[in-house]
Amino acid sequence: DTGVSQDPRHKITKRGQNVTFRCDPISEHNRLYWYRQTLGQGPEFLTYFQNEAQLEKSRLLSDRFSAERPKGSFSTLEIQRTEQGDSAMYLCASSLGDRGIHEQFFGPGTRLTVL
Amino acid sequence: GQQLNQSPQSMFIQEGEDVSMNCTSSSIFNTWLWYKQDPGEGPVLLIALYKAGELTSNGRLTAQFGITRKDSFLNISASIPSDVGIYFCAGHWYDMRFGAGTRLTVKP
């Protein structure tokens, strides 16, 4: 399977704990995106990378959130001191990054539940 | 927050019927995309549109990029039970914005 993969698929944690999610994009894709999706809503943009450079961050991405893509391949999203409001589906997507091509392909998501 | 208005919010139709949903925005976009999402899964890309006025088909699905660049619609013809899911429109300018989705239920 050469699609976008995410790990873990589900994570249950207690408030105040730190969590880290991983995303492996489609191998030839330069751009990688993180989104958050809550029930009844569409995905909301968090941040994106062009290769290893983090080019944009949404205001939704508080100081407790950090994302990395150290070698321009896989990416991690860490949430520190989780809060109940962080409970959501965290989606990763990747795209070729070619100029004018904006088709993003999504992974299956990581569903986070903060107790 | 969301800048796209997607309607209807939900649809209940009989198998074999045609479906139409649309998305409007106060802003222009250079790309419109339509995705389908099943419960517990990520969105799957159905159709991408790049030019105002463009009409594109993918099997029983047809989508159009509005002339004003502020709207798009998706039609599904002859619906089948596996069409059930949530359909999202997305518009791209500097970043991607998603609608809140149209939940489609198909009765056999």
Q: pLDDT tens digits for A20-31?
A: 999 999 998 999
Name the minimum distance, in Å, from the CA of A103 to any CA of chain B.
7
Site from B36, B38, B41, B58 to mutate, A interface, most A CB atoms within 10 angstroms: B41
pLDDT of residue A72: 87
Give pLDDT tens digits for B14-32. 999 999 999 999 999 999 9
Residue B103: closest C-alpha in chain A:
A40
The predicted structure's pLDDT at residue A1: 57
Name which of B98, B102, B103 to mutate to probe chain A: the one with the most chain A Cβ atoms within 10 A of its Cβ.
B98
In this structure, are residues B105 and B10 in contact, taking their beta carbons and an 8 Å threshold? yes
- Residues A45/A35, Cβ–Cβ less than 8 Å: yes
| Closest of A65, A68, A35, A64 to residue A53, by C-alpha | A68
Give me the mean pLDDT over the A58-71 stretch: 91
pLDDT of residue A91: 98
Provide the 3-class DSSP secondary structure of residue A36.
Answer: strand
With bands split at pLDDT 50, 70 and 90, how would you rate the model's confidence at B102?
very high
Neighbours of A17 (CB within 10 A): 13
Closest to A91 (Cα-Cα) out of A70, A67, A115? A67
Contact B41 A108 (CB under 8 A): yes
> Would you state the pLDDT for residue B1?
46
Q: Is the bond preceding residue B8 a cis peptide, omega within 30 degrees?
A: yes
